[in-house]
Structure 1
Amino acid sequence: MKRLVLPLCVAFSLPACGDNHPPAVSPVAPNAAGLAAFETVREVFQHPRCQNCHPAGDAPLQGDDSHVHAQNVLRGKDGHGNIGAECTTCHGPANPPSAFGAHVPPGNVKGWHMPTEDLKLVFVGLTPRALCEQIKDPARNGGKDMPALRTHLDDPLVVWGWAPGFGRAPVSVPRDRFLAAWETWAGAGAPCPGDATASR
Structure 2
Amino acid sequence: MRILIHCLAVLALAACAPRVSPEQEAAAVEAFATVEQVFQHPRCSNCHIPGDQPLQFDSQTPHAMQVVRGPEGKGAPGLPCATCHGEVNAPDSYGPHAPPGAPHWQLPPPEQKMVWIGASPAELCALLKDRSRNGDRDLDAMLEHVAEDALVLWGWEPGGERTPVPVPHAEFVAAFTTWADAGGPCPAS
TM range (shorter): 0.7 to 0.9
- Counterpart check, 1:145 vs 2:138: yes
Q: Secondary structure at the match of 2:184?
A: coil
What residue number does 2:118 align with? 125
What residue number does 1:5 align with? none
2: CA distance, partners of 1:101 / 1:187: 42
Counterpart of 1:53, as a letter, is C
Runs of at least 5 residues in structure 2 that lack an aligned partner in the other structure? 1-20
Normalising by structure 2, report the TM-score: 0.86
Aligned-pair identity in percent equals: 49
- Of structures 1 and 2, the larger Rg is shown by 1
Flag the structure with higher helix content.
Answer: 2
Q: What aligned pairs does 1:60-139 form with structure 2 within 5 A after superposition?
A: 60-108=54-102, 110-139=103-132
Runs (4+) off by over 6 Å? none
What residue number does 1:37 align with? 31
Q: What aligned pairs does 1:5-44 form with structure 2 within 5 A after superposition?
A: 29-44=23-38
Runs of at least 5 residues in structure 1 that lack an aligned partner in the other structure? 1-26, 196-200
Conserved 8 A contact 1:94-1:106: yes
1: CA distance, partners of 2:150 / 2:107: 13
Please list the CA deviations of residues 58-96 of structure 1 after superposition, one character each: whole Å capped at 9, or x if unmatched: 100000111111110100110000011110100011101
Normalising by structure 1, report the TM-score: 0.81
Note the C-alpha offset of 1:28: 7.0
User: What is the aligned length?
Assistant: 168
Conserved 8 A contact 1:33-1:184: yes
Conserved 8 A contact 1:97-1:166: no
Conserved 8 A contact 2:53-2:66: yes
- Counterpart check, 1:50 vs 2:52: no
Q: Secondary structure at the match of 2:58?
A: coil
- Counterpart check, 1:180 vs 2:174: yes
